[in-house]
Amino acid sequence: MKEPAANRPVYAWFASHVMLVDCLIAGTLWLVLVAPLISYLLDFGWPLGLAYVLLYSLLVIPLAWRRHAPTVSGVIIIVGYLIQLAVDAPLLPANMTVFGVVYALAAFGPRWLGRLAFVIALAGGAVALPRYGLISIRFDDRGGWTDFVVSWALVSAFLGISWLLGDLTRSRRLLVAELRDRAHRLEMERLQEREVAAADERARIAREMHDIVAHSLSVIITQADGGRFIARTNPVLAEETLKTVADTGRASLAEMRRLLGVLRADEGALTRPVPTLSDVDILINGLRDSGVPVEAIRVGEQRRELPAGAELAGYRVIQESFTNVLKHAGPGASVRLLRSWDARGLCIEVDDDGRGLAADETGPVGGQGIRGMGERLALYGGTLEAGPRRGGGFRVTACIPYGGN
């Protein structure tokens, strides 16, 4: 049954003011068990009476630190009991705290000290019963020994119950601490998984944005430059070039809307199927329309279906390769696209005879686009090789296995 809401604030206050609560308990016990007997203790004489007041206060006051400093508190009280037995001080209500200290050490102190306190309390009870006249023992009186054993067993039972309750409290406290620690670890793991997922998603979005925008803008720029030069001499061809620019811009805008719709996760977002290898002809025609001759060769037959993501990866590899041709190959370049199917899967090879990517790069070959291609293929067990060819030009080779892993 769920705890009433009205009780939870009270429990929360006690849990957040532990030291204050323990001080109030210890102070109340001192007022009940020690303060009423101060006048009685002072009747033993000024020095001895004052010593007794301090001794019995020593059995009660340290309970205020039973949770914050259980070892120090427990040792002080145990020493006080040993002093009482040693000096034969009178048995008073303050001695009831023996059950409290056994409980406190079992619950909050080290295990060895809790067990030691329990053993000392058992031994102290065996000594205190005859010493304070609670039980008369005569070696020739079997009934006296029986009374002693029964009385000591009763005291031991109460001490055992106190120790057992303390040990149960310890177990519950450790369990709660473990559950809190586990909950904290799970929360941290969830945050880390969320951050990793967000990083992966950012990388995926960056690849998609690069593939869509870079290719489309490269086509648009190439077509616009060509149209500017032929506008005066061949208006008809310039008009077709501008039409290609407009169509490429619309296609790129549609791709961007699709990507943004997926990111918004709106039910009514405009979406369409992602590109596959069957759409490569559109890329080939677009590159040819940009004035780059393309030789497309297909070898072998497809034996199994590739995963949808692997198809998209292959499409993006060809798209990025064509983009690099438009950006870096220079005028007069031609392209050879080879798609070869075998028992393992698909191999894509894109060659151009232009200046090559390295001619426009001051650092290592391979920027965001080539790195993105490699990351895409790696998700499906594919490989990528990209670099300048001997004699000029640039080559990109990608292999995608059927299994996708």
The β-bridge relationship of strands 345-352 and 335-341 is antiparallel
Residue 362 is predicted with a pLDDT of: 38
- Please give the pLDDT value at position 398: 93
Q: What pLDDT does 157 receive?
A: 93
Strands (E), 224-334: 294-299
- pLDDT band at residue 210, thresholds of 50, 70 and 90? low
Poorest-pLDDT segment among 76-85, 176-185, 264-273, 386-395: 264-273
The domain limits of the chain are 8-189, 276-405
Q: What is the pLDDT of residue 207?
A: 67
Q: How confident is the model at residue 167 (pLDDT cuts 50, 70, 90)?
A: very high
Report the distance separating Cα 19 and Cα 66, nearest Å.
9
Token pair 């620690």 is found at 181
Tokens linked to 340? 């070869």
What is the CATH code of the structural domain delimited by 276-405? Answer: 3.30.565.10
Would you say residue 163 has pLDDT above 60? yes
Other C-beta atoms within 10 Å of 199: how many?
A: 10
**In whole angstroms, what is the distance from residue 294 CA to residue 286 CA?**
10
- What pLDDT, on a 0 to 100 scale, did the predictor assign at position 364? 39
Structural tokens at position 105: 């050490």
**Residue 1 pLDDT grade (very low, low, confident, very high; cuts 50, 70, 90):** very low
The yes-or-no verdict on residue 222 having pLDDT over 80 is: no
Q: Quick one: what percent of the chain has pLDDT higher than 70?
A: 79
User: How far from 180 is each of 3, 67, 177, 185, CA to CA, in Å?
Assistant: 20, 19, 5, 9
Alpha-carbon distance 273 to 281, whole Å? 16
Strands 345-352, 394-401: pairing is antiparallel
What's the confidence (pLDDT) of residue 196?
A: 77
Comparing 276 with 14, which gets the higher pLDDT? 276
User: How many other CB atoms sit within 10 Å of the CB of residue 171?
Assistant: 11
What is the average per-residue pLDDT within 209-232? Answer: 69
| pLDDT tens track for 288-322 | 887 889 999 999 888 888 887 888 888 889 988 88
pLDDT in tens, 66-99: 888 889 998 999 899 889 888 888 888 888 899 9
Indicate the pLDDT class of residue 286, thresholds 50, 70 and 90.
confident
Q: What is the mean pLDDT of the chain?
A: 80
